[in-house]
Amino acid sequence: MNITKVLRKFSGRAALRGVIAIIVFIAIWEFGSRSLDLIGWRMPFVGLIPPPSSVLASWTGLFMEPSYWQSWYMSFLRVFTGFIVAMIIGIPLGLYMAINRTFYGIAFPSFEILRPIPPLAWVPASIIFWPTQEMSIAFVTFLGAFYTIVINVLGGAKSINRQYLQAAQSMGASQRDIFRRIVLPATLPSIVVGSAVGMGITWEVVVAAEMISGGGAGGGASGGLGFFIWSSYVGGSYEQIIVGMISIGIAGYISSELLRKLGGRFTPWLKTR
């Protein structure tokens, strides 16, 4: 019981440290941005970007703007479409490669050749072979998560402790039962890890894809957060660039947290370690 108390106290302190660090960071940023007015000398780098106070002002202005929230919605939609499709295809593919040697021999070499190609290198090709721009963005997003998920599932399923399989076998379990109650749960932690990493890559990819493709067919409002940043840059609204960047940070954090919560629910035994 003492240990948990100490931990709680420590985590309170750690939280405080975090809050103070963020406040100091914002203060330095504010000062740096206004350094030309305040001390007559422009601080390098920080002096060129708008101060947090005007970013905040621009942000509160955007709160009432439906197109801003539309950008959030579009990016989330693309991330989750790509991500969910990657899970639906990637998890069975990884599992099947792990349990079937013939299929592994057929699929793995091609997979390994395609894997190093960065998802963004697929942008022009996917614009060509998908009928709508929306589909090409979703496809590139899908690729971002797909390889990571497959590799993690494959690795996880292949490294199952052989004794688990032998124990189940000698207790008279069928192949079906072994797959359902041994292979699948033993691979779950790797699925969760693969998904978390894949989710991170998905956000990186979606933003870049939105910038390159210039948003969806509807232009501006359907562009997503990546296009929001790009159009702010083109329009010269530097405050909005930073609003867009922070928005992506928050969106990515929300997605990871959601995934962690969900993953923890599927793997309750890992929490007891």
Partner 1 sequence: MSTTKKSNEIIAANVSKTFGAGPFAKEVIKDCSFTIESGKLTVMIGPSGCGKSSLIQLIAGFDQPTSGSITIGGRPIDGPGKDRLVLFQESALFPWMTTWDNVMYGPRARGEDAAASEAQAEFLLKKVGLEAFRDKFPAQLSGGMQRRAELARAMINKPEVMILDEPFRGLDHMSKELMWEYYAGLYEEDRNTNFFVTTDIDEAIFLADRLLIMTNLPTSTRSVIEIDIPRPRNIEAMADSKQANDIKTEVMTLLHEEAMKSFSGGSAAAADFLDAYSKRAG
Q: Give the residue with the Cβ less far from partner 1, 155 or 200.
A: 155
**Cβ neighbours for 123, distance < 8 A, ≥ 6 positions apart:** 136, 140, 209, 212, 213
> Residues 55, 57, 59, 61: is their CA dihedral positive or negative?
negative
Q: Give the residue with the Cβ less far from partner 1, 49 or 168.
A: 168
Rounded Cα distance between 118 and 16, Å, is 39
Place of tokens 């699929």: 107
Task: Read off the tokens for 251.
Answer: 């969106």
Is the separation of the CB atoms in 144 and 119 below 8 Å?
yes
Work out how close the CB of 173 gets to partner 1 at its nearest, in angstroms, rounded to a whole number: 4
- Scanning 49-57, 192-200, 232-240, 262-270 for contacts with partner 1 by CB under 8 A, the matching segment is 262-270
**CA distance readout (Å), 112 to 99, 107, 120, 138, 201:** 18, 9, 17, 22, 18
Q: Give the residue with the Cβ less far from partner 1, 99 or 165.
A: 165
One residue of 2, 102, 110, 272 binding partner 1 per CB under 8 A: 272
Work out how close the CB of 96 gets to partner 1 at its nearest, in angstroms, rounded to a whole number: 21
Rounded Cα distance between 252 and 76, Å, is 9
The dihedral region occupied by 242, where left means phi > 0, alpha psi between -120 and 50, and beta the remainder, is alpha
Site string for partner 1, 156-195 (x = CB under 8 A): -----x-xx-xxxxxxxxx--x---xx--xx-x-------
- Binding residues for partner 1, total number by CB under 8 A: 23
Work out how close the CB of 272 gets to partner 1 at its nearest, in angstroms, rounded to a whole number: 5
- Restricted to residues 188-247, the positions that interact with partner 1 (CB under 8 A) are 188
One residue of 44, 116, 236, 268 binding partner 1 per CB under 8 A: 268
Place of tokens 């660039």: 241
Q: Give the residue with the Cβ less far from partner 1, 13 or 181.
A: 181
Q: Give the residue with the Cβ less far from partner 1, 160 or 259.
A: 160
Work out how close the CB of 269 gets to partner 1 at its nearest, in angstroms, rounded to a whole number: 4
Q: Give the residue with the Cβ less far from partner 1, 46 or 165.
A: 165
Work out how close the CB of 184 gets to partner 1 at its nearest, in angstroms, rounded to a whole number: 9
Work out how close the CB of 264 gets to partner 1 at its nearest, in angstroms, rounded to a whole number: 13
**CA distance readout (Å), 269 to 6, 165, 185, 186, 188:** 24, 19, 10, 11, 11
Residue 100 phi, psi dihedral angles, 5° rounding? -115, 110
Task: Return the amino acid letter for 178.
Answer: I
Q: By the criterion CB under 8 A, which residues form the site for partner 1?
A: 161, 163-164, 166-174, 177, 181-182, 185-186, 188, 267-269, 272-273
